[in-house]
Structure 1
Amino acid sequence: MSVISGELHLLDSIDIRGKIVTVDALHSTKDFAAWLKGKEADYVFTMKGNGKKLIDRLEMLNIKENSHSMASTEDHGHGRVDKRTLYLRKELPFWLNFPTAEQAFIIERESIIKKSGKVRREHVYGLTSLKDADARVLLQLNRGHWTIENKMFYVRDVTFNEDRIGVRSGSLPHLMITLRNVIMGIFRKKRPVSDRKNHPLLLLWQRHRSGIPLLKNVGQENKRFAQGSAVSQGTAAAMK
């Protein structure tokens, strides 16, 4: 049973009728799928090592060889070429033992490092309750899930090193979350992408990973940043 299964009552107040839900592999369980269908929602799940028996059964489907729909994308960026191909199969057998699933799929990923030519390949299996969705739609939904993951949770886990910050009591954890949200908002709305890594708030955060010294200095650093922005704007105006 997934960690989320015992806490589903916390989500009862959310109206998700007609919505499509994507989650991490940890929550891709029969219990959660049944709960979503009971709320008149659909799902797109991906499976990893936490569902080994289910993955074994998915492998037995030979999805790629028995697919009825296929879609692929190719992206260039960060010195890589990333190719993703999704194969989709309908008419799932009863022995798959995932009653709410209507279709199964496999996503093959190939990443090529342009400079070295090194190639990395991997694949993941998935299930969906969407009966009429084709491979193109499911690939878009999967990519949309990872867009959120990369823009939000990767930044929290890696850039801000959130899990290692030793703040656990009182109101300080909530304050730190708010502060991280503010910094992320500044990066995305106020600064060019090329200049974000040099933003004084991020540099200050990296110097004070615990976050506590940061609270004492953030006001002064923000003031310096505002003054620097004003000088830059004045210089730009004078050059016109």
Structure 2
Amino acid sequence: AFREWVAGVIPALRQEQVVAIDGKTSRRTTSKAAAAPLHMVSAFAAEVGLVLGQVATDQKSNEITAIPQLLRTLDVAGCIVTIDAMGTQTAIASEIRERGADYVLCVKDNHPKLLDSILLAQAGVGGALQAVSTWESHNHGHGRDEWRRCWAFEAGDRLYKGEQWCDLKSFALVERTRTVGEKTSVERRYYISSFAPDAEKFMHAVRSHWEVENRLHWCLDVQFGDDYARARAGHVAHNLALVRHIALNLIRLNTSVKTSIKTKRLLAATSDEFRATLLGFEVNEDDDD
């Protein structure tokens, strides 16, 4: 019902829209009798800021089994699906391609041989390898100086068991250099993708994926108190998590007032007219009730 509602209130996702898939734990939804707190894996349309769907992981499972279940319920054809390192699995890459989407998957130490092959290829071991595409940006403000750079390469046959990754075409190095005062830090991350090497597209996908933390998980915790919710019995925690997603989507969809999520929640609680508008009802100005 949630997915049907979302499909009805937003237009079809445009081509190359980034759909970020990530999990969040509602930390206090557990007790001594429960094996683990509620963990929801959500699909987040970064451009419009809406939750498209979600699946709760089983008590004895994790995101690796939940992500394919979620993908099978979504229409992501033509989109770019981004997942962090836990979801970097060959079966998940194949599921994304079967759904008609491209993938951008983060590679970390959970795939050490694949990561090593990326590092060796990028370093030119086994023959020089030039980046097909490069991109960089520079931001200065709030006392910090930040450079973001991306190098995109053709995957070719350089990557470890590259043939096991469905339609693998490219990999990329994303580097962020930040200087605050006299302290400089450098962070590097590596990604594989099913689209042709395009550094700007890689950076757009990566930065859009980061938004799931700021525009979804942070909002759920700070504005809706998700981490402080102590509902535990039966399906209550799961149901309330779904209601929070509905409320967040309703607030994001409303453009009648330009203000914060916190203020819109307050208006919805105190103004019958605004609440009716938020819920999509037509307000009859002649009705005194």
> 2:193 is matched by which residue type in structure 1?
T
Q: Equivalences for 1:199-210 in 2 at 5 Å?
A: none
Task: Report how many aligned residue pairs link the two structures.
Answer: 203
Which 10-residue stretch deviates more, 116-125 or 181-190? 181-190
Say if 2:138 and 2:147, in contact at 8 Å, map to a contact too: yes
Alignment check: 8 A CA contact 1:103 1:130 kept:
yes
2:218 alignment counterpart:
154
**Equivalent residue for 1:4?**
64
Map of 2:113 onto structure 1:
53
Q: TM-score, normalised by structure 2?
A: 0.56
Give 5+ residue unaligned stretches, structure 1: 203-218, 227-240
Task: Note if contact 1:46-1:127 (Cα within 8 Å) is conserved in structure 2.
Answer: yes
**Deviation of residue 138 (structure 1)?**
1.5
Q: Does 1:141 align with 2:195?
A: no
How much does 1:182 deviate? Answer: 3.8
**Residue 88 of structure 1 is aligned with which of 133, 148, 152?**
152
Alignment partner of 2:162: what SS? coil
Trace 1:217-232 onto structure 2 (pairs within 5 A): 222-223=269-270
Shift of 1:200: 11
Amino acid at match of 2:240: L
Cα distance, 1:59 vs structure 2 = 1.0
CA spacing shift, 1:33–1:7, aligned 2, 3 Å? closer
Q: Structure 1 residues 6 and 180, CA, compared in 2 at 3 Å: closer, same or farther?
A: closer
Cα 1:84/1:63, change in 2 over 3 Å: farther
* Aligned-residue offset at 1:68: 2.2
Give the conservation status (yes or no) of the 8 Å contact 1:5–1:31.
no
Match of 1:38 in 2: 98
Q: Distance in 1 between matches of 2:154 and 2:76?
A: 25
Does the 8 Å contact 2:88/2:105 carry over to 1?
yes
Q: Percent of aligned pairs with the same residue?
A: 25
- Structure with higher Rg: it is 1
Q: Aligned letter for 2:98?
A: G
Q: Distance in 1 between matches of 2:114 and 2:98?
A: 22
How much has 1:21 moved relative to structure 2?
1.0
Tell me the residue number matched to 2:74. Answer: 14
Which residue number corresponds to residue 110 of structure 1? 177
Q: 1:125 aligns with which of 164, 180, 190?
A: 190
More strand by share: 2
Give 1 or 2: higher helix fraction: 1
Shift of 1:191: 6.3
Q: CA deviation at 1:56?
A: 1.6
Tell me which moved more, 39-48 or 60-69: 60-69
TM norm structure 1: 0.66
**Structure 2 unaligned residues grouped into runs of 5+:** 1-60, 272-289
Offset of residue 119 of structure 1: 1.9
Alpha carbons of 1:47 and 1:172: their partners in 2 closer, same or farther (altered >3 Å)?
Answer: same
Give yes or no for contact 2:118–2:159 (8 Å, CA) kept in 1. Answer: no
Quote how far apart the aligned CAs of 1:165 are.
Answer: 3.4
Root mean square deviation, CA, Å = 3.7
Q: Which residue of 2 aligns with 1:235?
A: none
Select the structure with the greater relative contact order (CA < 8 A; seq sep ≥ 6).
Answer: 2
